[in-house]
A = this chain, B = another copy of it.
Amino acid sequence: MKVFFGSPGNISGLLLRIGQCFFAAASIGVMVSAHGFYTSTAFCYLIASMGLEFLWSFGLACLDFHALRSKRSLQNPVLVSLFVVGDWVTATLSLAGACSSAGVAVLFSRDLGYCSKTFPCTRFQIGVAFAFISWFLLAISSLVMFWLLGAV
């Protein structure tokens, strides 16, 4: 059993999962609090994909916590394969959500000049930034998992 940075059942893995949960939740919170987010399908999709990422990362954080407490190893091939597939699907959907929302946010703020006090572009941008941070942390986990699958 090899132990990499961010591998499951490890303290660094648990911290990565907590970071993903935190930023996904922050992104949803900022987006929902911005008036008029429902005008764009991309923003609604971002909230859905961040919701999925939150649930996935929260589940794995609980599993990591349990493994750390009971000092069990989570590195068996079937479990790692499951983590790899889940991580990659979630990471791709999160990146898709973050990028589509970024495209729309740039369109509103730079190209069309729609921003005003009643249509707060800054909030959209902060929400998208949080989504990108959350995706980046998930991408690190995904790469580690894929690497681990080759080594298990």
Contacts and interface: CB of A to CB of B under 8 A. Distances in A.
B106 A99 contact: no
Interface size class of A (residues with CB under 8 A): 20 to 34
A107 B42 contact: yes
User: How many protomers of this protein does the assembly include?
Assistant: 2
Nearest to A132: B96
Contact of A39 (B97, B111, B151): B111
Question: Which secondary structure dominates chain A's binding surface?
Answer: helix
B42 A103 contact: yes
Nearest to A45: B103
Contact of A150 (B102, B107, B110, B147): B147
A106 B102 CA distance: 13
A151 B146 CA distance: 12
A103 B49 CA distance: 14
A122 interface: no
